[in-house]
Structures are given as structure tokens and as C-alpha cells.
Structure 1
Amino acid sequence: MGLRDGRLHPDHPAGDDLLHPRAAPAQRRTGVRGGEGVNAADRLRLVNSVILPGFLGTALPAWLEEALRNGLGGVVYFSQNIDPDTPGAVGRLSEAVLAANPHAVIGIDEEGGNVTRLQSAAGSGIPGAAVLGVLDDIGLTEDAGRDIGVLARAAGVNLVLAPVADVNTNPLNPIIGVRSFGADTARVSAHTAALIRGLQSAGVGACAKHFPGHGDTSTDSHLELPRVELSLEEMRRDHLPPFTAAVKQSVAAVMSAHIVIPELGELPATLNPAAAALLRELGHDGLLVTDALDMAAVRAGVGSGPGAVLALKAGADLLCVGNPSNLGPKAGSTSDEDDYREVRDALLAALDDGTLTTSHFETASRRIRRFVETTRQARAAAPDSAGSAPAPSGRDWVEAAGRALTGVLPAWSRNGTAADPVQLLDGRGRTNIAAGPLSDVFSAALARRTPVRRSALPDPAGTTDLVGSLGLTPESRVVVLTDDLAPGGAQLAAAQAVHRLLPGAAWVHTGTVPADGQDLPAVYTHGTSRASAEALAARLLG
């Protein structure tokens, strides 16, 4: 196994001896109903091997260390696991994970732009997919993937849950949006392949998401179950090509979507054997990872535990439990350990009653072990030592993000003195669970150049009072921030109301550009990243 041409390639499949050495050969070949003949310890290891939970805190909890020692498939890092004030802390956390289970998958959502975990405190220094799609420079996108991969590798991560391969054909999509390379299938396909090449050239696995395509939805699967009213022919034409491109690029993993495609049946794709079969028909023999089972699209329907059983039975390999910081007593969860146990116990019960057989677990575990061994050997080919670790691309990401800025800048941009304050009116009220808590990158970037006062953008009826109370005049340097310009929405109406009162204000939109967006006096950043914020601040203030 090794790294060739920016791809992760196994030179030979991982043998069954990498699975559960104490299991009898006959069990590995055929699978055993109810785990008969498998002792309790091996039965637990079998079930644990396919679970990928999140956890709370910046150190390994005792329950998680024990589960890893008992064969847990791995972990997923979220923002709450990252200590930005302690250099090397994430790497040491990964060392602790691997000390407990040398075969663990360590995954992270690190897309660049809006979705970052490793740089969540200050915002991603790498622009997101929408910026890269606007620039449409394949080499630049490959370098973005490489730089994300270098960051992940330094943190001890071996699976980056990116890129987003969804074609964002619905401008009102509440969860994909600027995380996508755009609405053009060919462009999304080309940039998906490029980001994968870059990521995997750093010796980490990439994971294309969310199969078979979350781009035409108008609801957020974190909050409810989306239904895509497209025919399978339309899905094949408009939404599957980026995943085909990912498979051709030997992507290490693909993540399923919690969406219903009627022609595939009424189960969400994550729980649907027809969806898994469709992916395998594309030629993907790598990992199939579920989107988080704690998302309402699964949890509020069948539940995380039964969802895990259905997903594994449908053909999934790794069961991503989700981010415990998103849940609480109101959602039926009391701790990260409870979330893990809910899935583990459901799988044990399904093995006991014959709903699942040992072969379900062994097939998945075989792919997981092959992935881990492939990435281990790819890293060994370029060890972390002076002169041989993967180097960052050297790209100036602020300059690149600046080239992607489009729209209308205010007349006062680059005028005035450093003492002239900027009044920021922030209307971005939507909580995006996928991104998690975001650093206020725009305030920070502006404040590095001039004093900044920040207020919430009120509802349209309150704009006149706010402008008066803040003492704003047409000569004031005002920046209005929005991320949702849905027709009839509060943000659009409020921003328009401010602009009527203060036509010289800078209207900065960080979300997707609406179909009639060119008619609005706004500048578009195509996402929220530290790179885009710095580029905007430089354009406004010099």
C-alpha cells in the first residue's frame, strides 16, 4: 500500500487476520447469526469496530479510552475537542487515541471556509468551497485540499470529512449553500476531484459528502428529514457526477446523506440499501460513512440506535454517532457516553436477535482496517521529519479570497483614517449546526485596522430607531452583514431598510448569491472564513 499520484492505493487488500484474530475462520467467511460461538469480549469488539463517536472535552474521557481498548472504530473531533491556546494539544490527543487503539480512525470536519474545527477559534485561514468555485482555478482548489490535509495530518487526523460534493441547485438550501463549489455540475465535479487530490497528497483520507446529493434540499437534515423531489434520472444527471469524479479519484470514503429520494424508497439514504448499492455501482470500494446519527432526520424518526442497525444492515461501514455538544436533556441525551452506548447497545441487541450477523460487522471492519493501513503506509512514505513531511502550498489565501469578492463596494472604502470607527450591524441570526460556533471573523479583521462597534441588525421596523440611537449619518462608515437573502425574509428586509436610510453603507453578504443578487447593492464574500474577512477588511479599509 502507498501513496501514488496523490491517491491512496492499497497494493493488496488487508487480510482477514487484521479483523478479529480470535474469531474462527468459519465465522469470518460466512457470518454467524446472533454472534453464536463468539465470546463476550470478541462480541463487544465486533460491535465497537464500526462505531465512530464524538466526545466532550479536550482530553480522552475514561469511557472512550476503554471503548478504544475494546476495539472502537475511532473518534470524530469537533470544536469542543480543540484547545487553541495549547500548541500541539490535538496531536497529543490523537496520540492518546492511537495508544488505546492503534487501528483507530480519527476523523474531523475540516472543509475550509464556514466549517472548520482545527481553526474554529479564529476562523479558517483557507477559503471555502464557494470561493474556490467562483475562482474556478483547479490548481488553487488542489492546493486548498493540500493545506487542509497538512493541518489535519499535523493534528494526527487520518480522515478529513470533506469535500462537500453536493451541487447546490437550490439557492434556498439552508445547510449546504457556500459549503458547495456551486450550482454547476461539471464545475462541482472538477473541484471535488481536485480537493480530494490535494487532501490525499498529504497522506490523509478524504470523504466526499453527502451522497447521493444534498444540494436540492430546502430543509436542514440536522433539524428534519429532507425529501428531494427529483427523479433518479435527474439525480444521475445533476447530482451524482461529483461522486463519480470522487470515486475515479480513489476517494478514501463517502458520507451518506439523511435525505429521501422517492425512487429509492422512503428510507433516508443513510438507512437505505438501495442508496448504498447505487454508490457501489459507481465503483466505490472504500468506506461508506454515515452522516451523524444524532441528527433529527434519524434521531426523531427511528432513533440513533435503531438507525445504526438499519445503516449497517444497509451497507454502511462506519457509524458516525455525532456531536454530543449539539444535544442535551431536551433531545433525550445526557452525555457523550450515553450517545455511544445507545448505538452500541442497539447493535449488540441486533446481533443477539439475528437482525445483524457477524458478517455485517466483518465486511465493514475489513474496509476500516484497509483504510487505516493505507493511510498509515502513506504517512510512512513521507514521515513527519525535517524536509520530508508534506509542506503547505504557500498560497496567499487572503489574496485568493480577495479575488473572489464580487458586487458593490461603498464609496467610503479605503478612505478615512484609522481613527474613524466602523459600525457593524450584524443580521446573521441563523444557527448552522454543521459549522458549529463561529468566530466573529469580520469584526476581528476590521478591528485590526480601525475601532469597531458592533450591534445586532434589528427587524425592519426597528432600523430607524437604531440608526438614530447610534448617531449614524450618511457619512458614517457602516457595514451590514447578512447570510440569508430569502425573498420576504427578515434579513433582506432589514438590510434594505438600513440601506434606504444610509445608502453609503457597505452591505456584505456571506451566504449564497440569490438569483437576483446582482440587483442588490451588496458585496459578496461567498462564505465566512478568516481569509475572506481579511480580504474584505483590506478592500474596505486598505
Structure 2
Amino acid sequence: MTEHAPLIIDVAGMALTAADRRRLAHPLVGGVILFARNWQQRTQLLELTAAIKAVRADLLICVDHEGGRVQRFKSDGFTHLPPMRALGQRWRDDGTGSRYRQGSGALRALEAATACGYVLASELRACGVDFSFTPVLDLDWRDGQASRSTVIGDRAFDEDARVVTLLSRALMQGLLQAGMANCGKHFPGHGHVQADSHTEVPIDRRSLKAILQDDAAPYGWLSTVLTSVMPAHVIYPKVDARPAGFSRKWLQEVLRSRLKFDGAIFSDDLSMEGARRLDGQLVSHTEAAVAALDAGCDLVLLCNQSLGQGQAVDALIDGLEAARTAGRWQPSAASEARRVALLPETLPRPWDELMLQPAYMHALDLLP
């Protein structure tokens, strides 16, 4: 086990380059996040993930694969999973006329959510992917009929925190059955703000009490089953002047102490506009990473920076190493243990076997 490998980076293409291998071998790198550009077909993906594991077997291979519009692999046999809103809609559909039965929609939705998690995780693991950043725990706040947050929108299960909690718990059960950990995002909630943190810094001016009562409620209710959490690049000025992912108050006082969460905390992508504007200043990727780790993140992501020469990735690796040498950042054995705990403990079922597995075929029949 390495001393602490907090960096999750990307790779440029469908096969590893010499530069990719050099970066992945660095002891500060703990994992890889894949994107659609890394995908051509299942055979190629399996070769890519095997090549990553050949560099270091303990690297965590991750992807954003939720269903709906956030699904990186959609062809060559991968199931097109529904957006999570479809499960929330099923929850509220108890049928009509002679088929009406109060509460039946909720039961069907829970069954479908578990099936979604099982199919999602089984297919990814059959191709060598360890982990997906799912489920979304944000609430689908509405302005009339439209979602307030377009970046969240139909990625959310529902507007009711109780429904979100129960459906996400069911989805996590399906992930677990296939041997995959989970990641609740975006703590304490991104659904109330319109701005997209990929391009600007969203601001949510509600009080801590209001946020804990609504958006953050699922994190407390799920604290014993969540294996990881990703904070929002959102500023909640009545709580802290910094975005949640850079706030000791949010991560240490609220998430760890008040909500009793003890799993891994990922930063969201440090290349996003909402990630690098701290205290009114645009900071480097290294400064953002040090700030996130100091606030309480165990792992930090830098996405889409390996393209071309990948100078930003190299600068982050070198910068964090220099920060450690200068005493500006200290490795954490507890953080490393949380990272390793996200790695699957079972062998995946090969794709051809999976296609004939009764549990998998039954799960497909249960999808919305």
C-alpha cells in the first residue's frame, strides 16, 4: 500500500501512452477516471483497464456512469440506463382505475432502482471498471414545471428527500450485489442553484438549518451505507465563504461530525471554474488540491487535462509532491485506507457469462 495516493487523473485516449504510464506509476496517483473518449468497444475498454492495472494493481478505475445523459459507454452491448427521474416518476405512479393500488409505485420503483444498480455495476465490472460516481442525491427543486438546476435536472430521483434516500439506497444495494462501492453527490446539495459549477461559481444563500432539513438530509439517513461522497462546487455563504469541497466546516464539522459519515470524500473536478476560484482568486490546480485535502477530502480529481502534452497533470503531480516536501500537505493513512476500501473485493463476472446470468437477465426486465 502506498503512503497516500490522493490524485485521480484521466488518460488521453483509448490506449495508454508512455506519458500515461509514467503518471499512473507515480505514488501520489491513486486512480483513473475514464470518459467517452476512452471508449470504442468492450474489447478495447477491457484492454485499457487491464493495461492500467498492469501499471499498478491498486489503482481505482472510475467513471461517471449514472444513466440518462450521464453514461459514458452506450454501445456494444451496454444497457442504456434511464435517468434517475424515471425511478422517481415510477415511485409516484400507483396506477389508475382497476389497476390502482396505493404504494405499489413505490415498491416497483425500489425494485427497478436495485436492478439499475446491478446492471450498471455488473456491466462496468465486466469491462474492468471498479467504480462509478453514483448515485446523485441532489433534490430536483422546481420552478413551476421546470427543474431549477439544469445541470442536475433529470439526474435527480425526486424533489422529496425521503424518496431520494430510499431510491438511492435501493440502487446502492444493486451496486453492492455486483461488488461495487457507491458515491453520493453533490454534498450538501446542488439542485437549488441554477448556475453550472463547470463554468461559474454557484451560490446558495439558504441557511444551514434549511439545507440540513432538505438537501443534506439523505446524507445523514444514508451515512451507514454510503462508501464515498463528492461535495458540490457551490458556495453557501451563510455557512462558509468557500465552496463545500474546500470547507472544513462542511466536510469536518457537518459531514464527518454531525452526519457521522466515515467513508471517502472525493473533490469534484479541480479543472471546473467552481473549483479554482477560492476567496475571490483564481488559483492553480495544485493550490486547489492542497486546499481540498486540507479541508478534509481524501481524494481529488483532475479531469480532461491529459490531452495534448498533459502539462496540467504533470504540474499537479509535481506541485503536490513539492507541497508535501514543504510541509504544506501531509499524507493521511486514514485517507489511503478509505481509497483502498473502494476497490472491489470480488472478481467480476466475464461479459459472456453475465449475459446468461439469471439475476442479470431478471434485472434487465425490471428496468423502467
Query: What range describes the TM-score normalised by the shorter chain of this pair?
Result: 0.7 to 0.9
One of 259, 270, 274 as aligned partner of 1:297: 274
- Structure 2: which amino acid aligns with 1:220? D
Dislocated runs of 4+, deviation >4 Å? 120-124, 382-391
- Structure 1: which amino acid aligns with 2:14? T
Deviation for aligned residue 1:346: 2.5
Deviation for aligned residue 1:349: 2.6
The answer to whether residue 228 in structure 2 is matched with residue 253 in structure 1 is yes
Alignment partner, residue 125 of structure 2 = 153
Alignment partner, residue 105 of structure 2 = none
Q: Map 1:307-386 to 2 at 5 A.
A: 307-324=288-305, 335=308, 337-357=310-330, 360-372=331-343, 375=344, 377=345, 379-380=346-347, 384=350, 386=353
The question of whether the paired residues in 1 share the 8 Å contact of 2:114 and 2:171 is answered with yes
Alignment partner, residue 5 of structure 1 = none
**Is the alpha carbon distance of 1:316 and 1:336 closer, same or farther for their aligned partners in structure 2, counting shifts above 3 Å?**
farther
Query: What is the CA–CA distance in structure 2 between the aligned matches of 1:363 and 1:335, rounded to whole Å?
Result: 35
**Is the alpha carbon distance of 1:198 and 1:307 closer, same or farther for their aligned partners in structure 2, counting shifts above 3 Å?**
same
Deviation for aligned residue 1:260: 0.8
Deviation for aligned residue 1:362: 3.2
The question of whether the paired residues in 1 share the 8 Å contact of 2:148 and 2:191 is answered with no
Deviation for aligned residue 1:54: 1.3
Q: Provide the alpha-carbon RMSD of the alignment.
A: 2.4
Deviations 1:311-352 (A, max 9, x none): 011111111101338xxxxxxxx7362231232222123223
Deviation for aligned residue 1:129: 0.4
The question of whether the paired residues in 1 share the 8 Å contact of 2:84 and 2:154 is answered with yes
**Is the alpha carbon distance of 1:233 and 1:117 closer, same or farther for their aligned partners in structure 2, counting shifts above 3 Å?**
same
Alignment partner, residue 256 of structure 2 = 280
Query: What is the CA–CA distance in structure 2 between the aligned matches of 1:275 and 1:53, rounded to whole Å?
Result: 25
The question of whether the paired residues in 1 share the 8 Å contact of 2:62 and 2:129 is answered with yes
The question of whether the paired residues in 1 share the 8 Å contact of 2:14 and 2:38 is answered with yes
Deviation for aligned residue 1:175: 0.5
**Is the alpha carbon distance of 1:96 and 1:122 closer, same or farther for their aligned partners in structure 2, counting shifts above 3 Å?**
closer
Q: Secondary structure at the match of 1:73?
A: strand
Q: Secondary structure at the match of 1:182?
A: coil
Q: Map 1:70-219 to 2 at 5 A.
A: 70-71=26-27, 72-84=29-41, 87-119=42-74, 125-136=80-91, 137-170=109-142, 171-219=147-195
The question of whether the paired residues in 2 share the 8 Å contact of 1:157 and 1:204 is answered with no
The question of whether the paired residues in 2 share the 8 Å contact of 1:308 and 1:346 is answered with no
Query: What is the CA–CA distance in structure 2 between the aligned matches of 1:106 and 1:80, rounded to whole Å?
Result: 15
Aligned residues: 338
The question of whether the paired residues in 1 share the 8 Å contact of 2:64 and 2:134 is answered with yes
Q: Map 1:430-449 to 2 at 5 A.
A: none
- Structure 2: which amino acid aligns with 1:348? E
- Structure 2 residue runs without a partner (length 5+): 92-108
Query: What is the CA–CA distance in structure 2 between the aligned matches of 1:299 and 1:81, rounded to whole Å?
Result: 26
The answer to whether residue 194 in structure 2 is matched with residue 223 in structure 1 is no
% identical equivalent positions: 28
Q: Secondary structure at the match of 1:146?
A: helix
**Is the alpha carbon distance of 1:292 and 1:389 closer, same or farther for their aligned partners in structure 2, counting shifts above 3 Å?**
farther
Deviation for aligned residue 1:287: 1.1
Deviation for aligned residue 1:187: 0.8
**Is the alpha carbon distance of 1:146 and 1:390 closer, same or farther for their aligned partners in structure 2, counting shifts above 3 Å?**
farther
One of 19, 22, 45 as aligned partner of 1:66: 22
For the pair shown, which has the larger CA radius of gyration, 1 or 2? 1
Alignment partner, residue 6 of structure 2 = 50
Deviation for aligned residue 1:122: 9.6
Query: What is the CA–CA distance in structure 1 between the aligned matches of 2:309 and 2:183, rounded to whole Å?
Result: 24
Alignment partner, residue 392 of structure 1 = 360
Query: What is the CA–CA distance in structure 2 between the aligned matches of 1:162 and 1:89, rounded to whole Å?
Result: 24
Alignment partner, residue 219 of structure 2 = 243
**Is the alpha carbon distance of 1:274 and 1:98 closer, same or farther for their aligned partners in structure 2, counting shifts above 3 Å?**
same
TM-score normalized by the length of structure 2: 0.85
The worse-fitting range, judged by mean Cα deviation, of 233-242 and 361-370 is 361-370
Deviation for aligned residue 1:70: 2.7
Query: What is the CA–CA distance in structure 1 between the aligned matches of 2:151 and 2:292, rounded to whole Å?
Result: 22
**Is the alpha carbon distance of 1:125 and 1:233 closer, same or farther for their aligned partners in structure 2, counting shifts above 3 Å?**
same
Query: What is the CA–CA distance in structure 2 between the aligned matches of 1:265 and 1:153, rounded to whole Å?
Result: 39
Q: Secondary structure at the match of 2:15?
A: coil
Deviations 1:284-329 (A, max 9, x none): 222111110111112353232211010011111111101338xxxx
TM-score normalized by the length of structure 1: 0.59
- Structure 1: which amino acid aligns with 2:322? A
- Structure 2: which amino acid aligns with 1:274? K
Deviations 1:436-455 (A, max 9, x none): xxxxxxxxxxxxxxxxxxxx
The question of whether the paired residues in 2 share the 8 Å contact of 1:143 and 1:393 is answered with no
Deviation for aligned residue 1:354: 1.9
The question of whether the paired residues in 2 share the 8 Å contact of 1:116 and 1:123 is answered with no
Q: Secondary structure at the match of 2:71?
A: coil
Deviation for aligned residue 1:168: 1.7
Deviations 1:147-172 (A, max 9, x none): 11111111211111111110121422
Query: What is the CA–CA distance in structure 2 between the aligned matches of 1:232 and 1:287, rounded to whole Å?
Result: 23
Query: What is the CA–CA distance in structure 2 between the aligned matches of 1:293 and 1:182, rounded to whole Å?
Result: 28
**Is the alpha carbon distance of 1:349 and 1:163 closer, same or farther for their aligned partners in structure 2, counting shifts above 3 Å?**
same
